[in-house]
Amino acid sequence: MTDNRTDWWQQPARPLDHTAEQNARERQNQLTKPPGSLGRLEEVAIHLAALQHTDRPRVDPVQISIFAGDHGVVAEGVSAFPQIVTVEMQRNFVNGGAAISVLARQLGATLEVINTGTLANPAELPRVIHEPVAPQTQNFCEGDAMTDAQWQQALAIGRRAVQRAEQHQAHLFIGGEMGIGNTTTATALLCALTGLTPDDITGAGTGLDSAGVVHKIKVIERALEKHKHILHDPAEVSRALGGFEIAALTGAYIAAAQAGMAVLVDGFICSAAALCALKLNPSIRPHLFFSHCSAEQGHRKVMAHLHAAPLVDLNLRLGEGSGAAVVVPLLRAACALHNEMATFAEAAVSGKSNTHDGDL
């Protein structure tokens, strides 16, 4: 599939503003606190300032886009739940009953749900954005998960979600996912792109027992062996081993970075999409904040591979973008502290002395 063309997803991300970054760092050093005493909250605010080209960063409005899709590899018996759940959870999302629905309400965030392709037709569901690529991907143990055209279509679904976020003037983008079988897909992608083995990172997903996990490992090993000739090419890996909703997330992360938007990455499956995005377009890295370390086996190893330091570790493994949503108040706090604290001069508080011990 790879050729000499330049696609939209290869265009560089919006560059950082190093003047804004320096100004924000200088402001942090003037606030009424010992320098560095707010730890990573200071660095988050400074980094957001550089991304947003401003001395006073913000994260609101927040856009949350949940991509749902079905996976042909479910035919291999890798999930404890039937595929109808992919559609049923879309209904739950838009009806307000899912965890991410509750969190979006609490945050005042815009929440949208996008169907990228499900076996059970959710066309009757109101308030779901319908952009199905196909009823599901192909079983990647038997062939390629997607054609080139399908992969490009799925990437573009994510790009359109970011364009809607821009219309809402969002400053922070959160992607979420729903798809029975997608921990198998994400694990295969991560193994292909990192060199980690299925034994290293395969977990129980939605609740497999130990025998189910062993079977899942064997399925992923079969897929990696079948596609070993393309594992050097991240675009081909994303196409041959990916899912529609994971490719949409990949496209969304790239498009958000190109738009200069901060991205808060959720857990295991979203990290697989983020790694695909980084392999396709390394320039997006400064725009990605990794929200939490998932309880899904192997996520910590994936974070180490990415040299990423998640903001919290709460033993979460739900998906849906829920872990990222939980972290939004921390980012809000970082911005509020940066923007609203008084400087030493404003508060008429004496700053740190420049004299050394023993000086008169």
Residue ranges covered by each domain of the chain: 60-329
What is the per-residue pLDDT across 198-232, written as a single tens digit (0 to 9) for each? 999 998 877 889 998 999 999 999 999 999 999 99
Whole-angstrom distance, CA of residue 21 vs CA of residue 268: 30
**Which residues, other chains included, contact 275 with Cβ-Cβ below 8 Å and sequence gap of 6+?**
189, 190, 193, 194, 302, 305, 306
Secondary structure element (H or E) that encloses residue 51, with its range = helix 40-52
Q: Which pair of tokens denotes residue 89? A: 């959870």
Tell me the whole-structure pTM to 2 decimals: 0.95
pLDDT: which is higher, 290 or 125: 290
At 325 the three-state DSSP class reads helix
In DSSP terms, 69 is beta-bridged to: 117
- Which residues are the active-site residues? 320
What is the per-residue pLDDT across 276-318, written as a single tens digit (0 to 9) for each? 999 999 999 999 999 999 998 899 999 999 999 999 999 999 9
At 122 the three-state DSSP class reads coil
In DSSP terms, 114 is beta-bridged to: 67, 129
Whole-angstrom distance, CA of residue 58 vs CA of residue 7: 31
What is the per-residue pLDDT across 153-178, written as a single tens digit (0 to 9) for each? 999 999 999 999 999 999 999 999 99
Q: What is the mean pLDDT of residues 262-278?
A: 98
Give yes or no for a contact between 196 and 174, defined as CB atoms under 8 angstroms apart.
no
Can you name the CATH fold of 60-329? Rossmann fold (3.40.50)
